[in-house]
Amino acid sequence: MGAEVVKIEGVRPLDHTREVGPFTDDTRSRNRSGYFNSVNGAKKSVALQLNDSAQAALARELAVTSDIVVESFMAGSMERFGLGFAALAAENPRLVMISCSGFGRTGPMAAHSAYMNTVAAYVGLTALNSGDGFPTPVGATFSDLVAGTSIAYAALLGVRRARATGRGAWVDISMAEASMALMGEPFMTHFAGAAAASASTGQFAPRGVYRTSGDDKWIAVSVRTDAQWASLIAVMGNQDLATGDMLAGNEGRIEHSSTIDAAIAAWARNFDNIELTERLQAAGVPAAPASDPEDVIRNPHFLARGAVAPQDDPLEPGHLLPNLPWHFGGFPGLDSALPRAPRLGEHNDDVLATRTDVESQLLDHLNAAAAIAAVGPEP
């Protein structure tokens, strides 16, 4: 959106997301990781080893000439590299620095390592996602992406403050707290007491995901009002579900939810999930296909809005990815194509040679090391 974003990444060790894939074939080039490419579009890559004093000095020069520095090392690492906030802010008082870690820079767990699933479990997200009574990891890297969104928001607030006051800021972000901040409802239910907690498991009925015809195809239905319930019964043509006073209101539907769910499940198996969605929506019943990734990529609504678009990457031609969740009139090109992610060390020359007095011999060494590391291990 107009910013120049420079990703400083090492060669030993690499950003591990360059190696985790998924990969489309056995050529496991570190420039072709599906995960890395999906979250690093339009950035520039500079490959530096921060434990080398000369290369750390280059990183420092880049940092002090930037508006924002984001880092996710263990506590104390940036200070050891000479890149701590106090040192950088002494040269650039307007600098905004974001430090993100699993549990924050203070407290008894400040030194604990963390990944998405452990953070999600720690804050209770996997318990909320329980299936058959067992806590279940969420399917996407929820805590990672929530933390990234929190970083971006905090950085923009910091820049706004710096422009207004001339002073930057250091911001400590915890992945755990970023995840927990979006989970207010379960906590409020807990505070309301056991009775409310019991009722919250089925605040509305019917509400579920039901199998339809086809190969592992499903539909989600969520009924909140009596009018929606009446419309669902009419579409189903099952007036037996309307008998009895208890079934006329939400409390009665919750009490008899197992019977209702069984009836909907048997009925839905006779229909295609797309066709059934259209019928229910036309009747005013909230419903949607329970999509898998293939369904989402082919979804005509998402395609029409550019919510799914190809990434402009010749190494992976034609691949579609979820787009940015906003549409700016000033950037119409983003609705038709996503910028690709950088190759490892691709912008060493572009960024370093124009901003520093880096010796050509060191620049050659950095480029050679990045080229070797980018090839990746043999499959």
Angle, to 10 degrees, between the axis of helix 226-236 and the axis of helix 257-268?
Answer: 40
Q: Which CATH architecture has domain 203-292?
A: 2-Layer Sandwich (3.30)
* pLDDT tens-place string over residues 122-161: 888 888 877 667 788 877 788 888 999 999 999 999 999 9
- Residue 245: pLDDT over 80: no
> How many Å apart are CA 104 and CA 177, to the nearest integer?
8
Task: Return the pLDDT at 157.
Answer: 96
- The owner of tokens 């060494």 is 365
State mean pLDDT over 260-276: 94
Task: Return the pLDDT at 199.
Answer: 43
CA 202-204-210 angle, to 5 degrees, is 85
Q: What is the band of 194 on the pLDDT scale with cuts at 50, 70, 90? A: low
Task: Return the pLDDT at 200.
Answer: 46
Task: Return the pLDDT at 196.
Answer: 46
DSSP 87-139: HHHHH-TT-EEEEEESS-SSSTTTT----HHHHHHHTTHHHHT-BTTB----S
Q: What is the band of 326 on the pLDDT scale with cuts at 50, 70, 90? A: confident
State mean pLDDT over 261-277: 94
Structure-derived torsion over alpha carbons of residues 89, 95, 101, 104, reported in degrees to the nearest 10: 70
Task: Return the pLDDT at 246.
Answer: 66
Domain ranges of the chain: 6-183+299-375, 203-292
How many Cα atoms occupy the beta-carbon half-sphere of 111 within 13 Å? Answer: 2
User: For the chain, how far is it from start to end, CA to CA, in angstroms?
Assistant: 37
- Residue 317: pLDDT over 90: no
Task: Return the pLDDT at 232.
Answer: 96
Least confident of 19-28, 173-182, 221-230, 301-310: 19-28
- Residue 298: pLDDT over 80: yes
Q: Tell how far CA 77 is from the center of its chain.
A: 25
Computed over every residue of the chain, the mean pLDDT equals 89
Right CATH number for 6-183+299-375 from 3.40.50.10540, 2.60.40.10, 3.30.70.370, 3.30.1010.10?
3.40.50.10540
Task: Return the pLDDT at 378.
Answer: 52
Task: Return the pLDDT at 295.
Answer: 85
Ordered alpha helix ranges (H), 129-183: 142-165, 175-180
State mean pLDDT over 318-325: 85
State mean pLDDT over 88-114: 94
The fraction of the chain above a pLDDT of 90, given in percent, is: 53
